[in-house]
Amino acid sequence: MTNVQGTFDGELRKHLTLRYANLNGVKCKTEELTAWTKKGEKFNVCRKDRTGCRKESGGGVAVIAKKDLRTSRAVEYEVDGLELMWLKIVGLRKVALVGVLYAPGYYEEVFAKLSRSLESISPYLRRNLILVGDFSCPDID
């Protein structure tokens, strides 16, 4: 599990901590995710399941956010055929955009689609953007 920490000071006055974990198939882990998020009923789960996927093989991406954060899915920045999901975290003065990506391999088409998604994001949101995931880039740590 990877932790990314930073301060999101959009009048929320909260410290934002992101924890990234490759769950090796979100659909397969539905029961585990549900059990984990039921602890205190403090979390919302946003999912984007892989299209045409059987439950046994899994696939897709998810973001689990505390309920006290104002979040909304930003489907306008998502691209067809790419396991990429964007979530806006809204404060009174700022909006942060958090994305999660699964790239099934180091293919030019995947990164072209990611580039198209990033280009569609307005400049004011790009200043507060975090993108995590499995990029399938073995030479980059």
Residue type, 29: K
- Which pLDDT value is given to residue 99? 94
- Which pLDDT value is given to residue 76? 96
Compute the distance between CA of residue 84 and CA of residue 60 in angstroms, rounded to an integer: 8
Nearest to 95 by CA among 132, 128, 130, 131: 128
- Which pLDDT value is given to residue 81? 87
Strand, coil or helix: what is 15? strand
- Which pLDDT value is given to residue 16? 66
- Which pLDDT value is given to residue 5? 46
Find the mean pLDDT for residues 23-50.
Answer: 67
Compute the distance between CA of residue 133 and CA of residue 90 in angstroms, rounded to an integer: 21
Q: What residues contact residue 116 under an 8 Å CB cut-off, 6+ apart?
A: 79
Question: Which position has the higher pLDDT, 2 or 24?
Answer: 24
- Which pLDDT value is given to residue 23? 59
Half-sphere exposure of residue 31: CA atoms within 13 angstroms, side-chain side: 2
Find the mean pLDDT for residues 10-29.
Answer: 58
Question: Which position has the higher pLDDT, 106 or 82?
Answer: 82
Pair of tokens at residue 66: 């505390």
Residue type, 110: V
**2 has pLDDT over 50:** no
- Which pLDDT value is given to residue 38? 66
Percent of the chain at pLDDT > 70 equals 65
